[in-house]
Structure 1
């Protein structure tokens, strides 16, 4: 069944996600702070809006995909934002990666206006968004998840309801902890193998076929072989996410001894000017520590 969807945030992830909803036959109206992504959505068969209010006014479902908590608060909770303009009964799905506390606050504010919410962050990066194979972890009411699932199935291949409001963001924080740690140890293995004079491509191929194989290795191998770090997911954003997981873990009394070190290495990469690069550029930090020329 075709739905009227407002999609706010048409960046690296949001743009292809909105386009995939258009391909699936939905009426998608998009808004972004810059015009080219709106034009791209229109070219793909969607519709453009002049602002948040214009996008959400007649929507049945509103999806937001913005960088961090401040943007979610501005777009959803802010003056002339989603809650000020959406109709009662609208389902608002925030697919950004933010703190669980903000998701709970959004749910409470929306409930006062008769608006339903889900927090449904994703994993899979730009490639997963383009290929519609994202992993989607959703928090909120089970009946709202059931309503949203046909839309999620357009966007992802793994779609799971993980609990009440905020649970999706908690699971996403754990995801980002695992991903950053995997990228860091993969980067260390790459420098180790290169310093030892091993054929790196052959080594990574055989490692991918054994217990060391992972989605991270499969997705990021080419970046590291070619030293190509165009952003699929920026270090700046992963730095933000590592702050979320370390704060959340502290709140529940969970120790993150390895995660704390990885968070510092992500922060170091950012401090060394790599924040706008893909998170596979953690390799550059290992090269620095190893006294190698950074490529």
Structure 2
């Protein structure tokens, strides 16, 4: 199979290099200013394309790894988009974090164009993308998933089929609400501890030995204790986007969003102050007393 990828960013770069080096597949990618440097994947044989349509014209599988629904919709339906150039039987694998209702619409458009669609968001970090050990939550038809498993195996450790189309993104939003919510709460607590002069290592040790032990603590501890933000290279603006997607999904179904509203407001302040491209661990600093947000 010839693989196409659109979105060679922090996550997509790792996916691309593993599709080439571990999977041995031919790869074409959208040449875009938002990409990470592509020298490595070009040396491995990746071919740049100028438009999504050019990617679709050569690919049996197209992986989308972009920010959210508006970007996915533009790629699928925009001028020189995927829908107008898909080959019969091409499978679009959407690894972004998107709104389930949008996913269903894009899936129908791709089906009408002769292709198939899977939503397959990721639940790990850029480090895991680089190592080829991502986890995917896949929504869509099981038979379609089976066709692309060899490609997915090149960059994943675990692939879970979680239900029909849209359920991958629904579960990803539930996952990120819990994950980002925990980290936002923890960052605020760590900021308060720092303002009070609590030793950061003692703070982390106390939480780790009790009810605060969690993946959130593991990811923020390097920043809390040593100022190392790179354990979680995830922009605050993207975290806020994911929470707001969760709120939109919940409001559409009539579910309560009281806690999610608070998390969104907490993240909105640093984004509005120009810190949207800070990594999530840096919320510890941004939430401190006297920090302009």
Q: Which residue of 2 aligns with 1:11?
A: 9
Q: Deviations over 1:84-141 (max 9, x none)?
A: 1120101111111111111101111111122000011112222222222322111111
| Superposed CA RMSD | 2.2
Which residues in structure 2 correspond to 1:149-228 (within 5 Å)? 149-205=149-205, 207-208=207-208, 210-228=210-228
Q: Deviations over 1:50-74 (max 9, x none)?
A: 3323222121111111122222111
Q: Deviations over 1:186-207 (max 9, x none)?
A: 2133234334444312442453
Which residues in structure 2 correspond to 1:233-252 (within 5 Å)? 233-252=234-253
CA contact (8 A) 1:132 1:155 kept: yes
Q: Deviations over 1:169-217 (max 9, x none)?
A: 1111112211221111221332343344443124424533554222222
CA contact (8 A) 1:4 1:28 kept: yes
Deviation at 1:83, TM superposition (A): 1.6
Change (3 A) 1:205 1:56: farther
Moved more, 129-138 or 42-51: 42-51
CA contact (8 A) 2:10 2:36 kept: no
CA contact (8 A) 2:17 2:41 kept: yes
Structure 2 unaligned segments of length 5 or more: list them: none
Q: Which residue of 1 aligns with 2:283?
A: 282
CA contact (8 A) 1:56 1:62 kept: yes
Determine the C-alpha separation between the residues in 1 that align with 2:25 and 2:145.
Answer: 18
CA contact (8 A) 1:98 1:244 kept: yes
Q: Which residue of 2 aligns with 1:23?
A: 21
Alignment coverage as a number of residue pairs: 290
Deviation at 1:31, TM superposition (A): 1.4
Deviation at 1:36, TM superposition (A): 6.1
TM-score (norm 1): 0.90
Determine the C-alpha separation between the residues in 2 that align with 1:272 and 1:199.
Answer: 28
Change (3 A) 1:132 1:210: farther
Q: Deviations over 1:259-293 (max 9, x none)?
A: 21001111112112210111222223421xxx245
Q: Secondary structure at the match of 1:85?
A: coil
Determine the C-alpha separation between the residues in 2 that align with 1:133 and 1:206.
Answer: 31
Q: Secondary structure at the match of 2:213?
A: coil
Q: Which residue of 1 aligns with 2:63?
A: 63
Moved more, 58-67 or 194-203: 194-203
CA contact (8 A) 1:63 1:94 kept: yes
Moved more, 261-270 or 70-79: 70-79
Determine the C-alpha separation between the residues in 2 that align with 1:293 and 1:96.
Answer: 32
CA contact (8 A) 2:124 2:135 kept: yes
Q: Which residue of 1 aligns with 2:265?
A: 264
